[in-house]
Chains A and B, each alone.
Chain A
Amino acid sequence: MNETLEQRLSMLLDGETTPFETKRLVDEIHCNPHIKALWLRMNKQRAALKGELIDPTLDISASVMSHLNSTPQISHLNSKPWQFSHFFPTHYLKACCYLLGFFLVLSSPLLNLKNFSPSDSFSKLSNPSKTFNRNIPLPGNEALLVDLGSNFNGNLKNYRMVSENAIEANYQLPDNEAVKIKVFFNDVPQSERLNLLESGITLHTKSGNEPIVLNVSSDQISNSKLIKISNTFFTK
């Protein structure tokens, strides 16, 4: 990269920098008053060009940041958006589980439901009840999987229970590449560990307060892209 710092700032203004470069420039803007002034001027210049400059001396950034710094750290900012507990508060989730269980027990003779065990075949999103598992409420699982995908713009295509404590989900990326994520709700079984080592990137993280293990793999995308995707799941 032969670009000067000014040129890279110009690229940042246009959203043309890589995430790595963005981080570096953000640090530069923060630490170097000269660079900060240049960034401010570049933005004012753009506003002037577009007829949106109302006051050349306007700068509300200091007051916004001082307000943000004076308020307590917002806890959810440090957790990922797909965390289970955000969507299903525990008390609500428990009530739903009881109601669902009660309903199924009552309705099973009517609906002729003989087998609640995990299915081996991939479920369709339109018919999620095929993979019902008593231990893991399915609607919660599906929301979790959809939100996992939203971290990297992945559309959930299908998923299946691979064991009592694990789900395998397939996603499609915007450019039609496929990514597979295995979610283990407890630790990874010993028998599975070696397979996972060979098949992708394994992360230990949390869903709400519960530890989960994610294995991200794909036979279509590069390792660096796979690493980028897996980085989106890290919680601080």
Chain B
Amino acid sequence: MRTRFGPQGADYAEKFARIVGAEGVLSGPAAERAYDCDAYSVDRSAPALVLLPRSTNEVCEIVAACLESNIPYTARGAGTGLSGGALPALGGLVISTKKLTQILEIDLANRAMRAQCGVTNKKLSDAVRQDGLHFAPDPSSQTVSTLGGNIGENAGGPHTLKYGVTAPHVLGVTMVTPEAEVLELGGKVAGLAGSELIGLIVGSEGTLGIVTEAWVRLTVVPTHVETALIAFPSVRQATETVSEIIAGGIIPCALELIDHGILGALRAAFNLQYPEGTQAMLLVECDNGGQGVAGTTADEVRSDIRRISELCERNGAIHVRVAKDEAERAKLWEARKKGVGAMGRLAPSVVTHDGVIPRSRLPEMLDFVYAVAAEHNVGVANIFHAGDGNLHPCFYFDDRDPQQVERVVEAGEAVIRKCIELGGSVSGEHGIGVEKLDLMALMFTEDDLALQQRAKTVFNRGELCNPCKVLPNQKSCVEHRKRWRGVAW
């Protein structure tokens, strides 16, 4: 087996095969290529080996072996991350969670479920749908992204507007620490002693340890949902309406914006029809679900969507379409769900950026995004969680032309700088990974970053557990970064 550990390489592969079984060790060019990046494909780095443990104990043994032999490691779920969080370290392993796919316990009375980290987000919900429950966070990647990945990135999705991101839905975790211990925090009862540390772990992008199992909160599936797709003659009218909807005291469960760029791509790709003169659409959804408004009735939901429709019309909406039934609701959501995929019609490559701003600043922010794209001579289309102020400008380009690549990177950075200027964050959902290391200093002072570095040492005092991610200027990262930046193996 060819490996990257040098003369002792063969020993390492055998050492790990004794832990995970021979079939749990992948190496060679095909494996290296498959695992050399996640969905952030700008940077690549071939792993030394890929391991597929079958249990928490095997993960723990792997980490112990890594400690013994000074081998860095990076956990990987489905590899759908968009910031390079699963990019292997220099000479490092990938610890894949592909075999940790069991649902361990479903406790309906306590509305909690315990699952291994490799279970997909959607599978968690499917397991309890017949009981009228689901796992509320619904990132767009939910059919493939894993619980572990969702925890690592504090995943969002369209319904976080009402139901929150992943963090409020994690009751407990089992984590293999960088010191090769199996740490259990929290449990099915919310607020157990030690559960305050879970807040540090969710969103830590795999840099504080490897979460192998979690207790998650199950939420009642709303019994009444109203969805509307509203067409506007200008992006500004749509963005101004977003703020007004929320300011009006209504809490929709989703509020998404799709602009003309995406609509054009959808028409080309799927023949999706929409009213003449539409420059932007709002997809709004209201429901009678759990947290928030107690005891909302179906009538109140209908009234909410009616109030929203009327508000949109007052703001110049061309057309309002309210779904009559479940089938029509699915049809309305197609525009949102197929949007990014349809971008393939516009150019060979798309980079989906991620930033967040206070929603009242959306109108000026979108103006800025279009201006930046024009200035840099790249195409842009916008499809995003307007209700949260979480932007996803999609710059499209041809990555065979290095000048275009450079302009896209610059345009993306300009957008993020603007987000911070407007009081937002450098990342709403996708995380820092490697992609935004250099941008952390825009949002945080040196003292803030010192505090971050301290926080890391609560769990991670070494340099082996997913090194050189999230925090800039960590020592020994120079070699990693030289290897990553555009150097393909």
* A and B part of one assembly: no
